[in-house]
Amino acid sequence: MMLAGCATTTGRDGGAVSAGAGSATDESATPTPTADVVVDADAEATAQSWLDGAVLPPGAVASETKPANFLSYYAWPCQPMVERSGYWTVEDSSVAEVANWLKQNPTGGLMVTTPGPIPEDTDYDEATVGNAPAFDSLEGIAYTITKNAEGVAIRAEIGVKPADSECPEGNWGGPGQG
């Protein structure tokens, strides 16, 4: 079982989120500049394009709310980050089936950064699949797949480094690597 860096936060998924592909349901998805915040238009556009272009398995249905209780979260080591989230459900599928499908079908322009495949004869509660521009990249998409009542739920945690982002020294796992 793969776990993303476990940084549990209260209410992280509680707010409105963009539902994906062309959704305009989240007014907070477009940041409003303040005296303390400098908006990086390129990073904003990249994050939104990764969300809008998320490659998902057949039968995936966008969800405007969190469709399951996810057990792990990815903590972006670089700060600040431009972040987006998206949720989907896939009925009558297992965590392993969806995780393996995502590993075989990365989002456009990105590569899968997590090892695979995972055995489909094992009943997993949750798995994570990373997509990033390069294997050692600290930006990209951490897809988390978890069980729900109808099958599985998918969460995409997207992070893009703006020009003013600072990263800690050392080796850090990229999206989905822990």
Q: What's the pLDDT tens digit per position in 4-18?
A: 333 333 334 443 333
Residue 37: exposure state from Cβ atoms within 10 A (0-12, 13-18, ≥19):
exposed
* Radius of gyration for the alpha carbons in the chain, expressed in angstroms and rounded: 15
Average pLDDT over residues 89-117: 95
Q: What's the pLDDT tens digit per position in 137-153?
A: 999 999 999 999 999 99
Cα separation, 3 vs 128, in Å, equals 6
pTM listed for this prediction: 0.78
Quick check: helix, strand or coil at residue 4? coil
| Backbone phi and psi for residue 108, each to the nearest 5 degrees, phi listed first | -45, 130
Q: What's the pLDDT tens digit per position in 2-54?
A: 333 333 333 344 433 333 333 333 434 444 444 455 689 999 999 999 999 99
Query: Which residues fall within 8 angstroms of residue 119, CB to CB, at 6 or more apart?
Result: 96
Query: Which residues fall within 8 angstroms of residue 52, CB to CB, at 6 or more apart?
Result: 20, 21, 22
* Lowest-pLDDT range of 12-21, 61-70, 127-136, 154-163: 12-21
Q: What's the pLDDT tens digit per position in 107-120?
A: 999 999 988 789 99
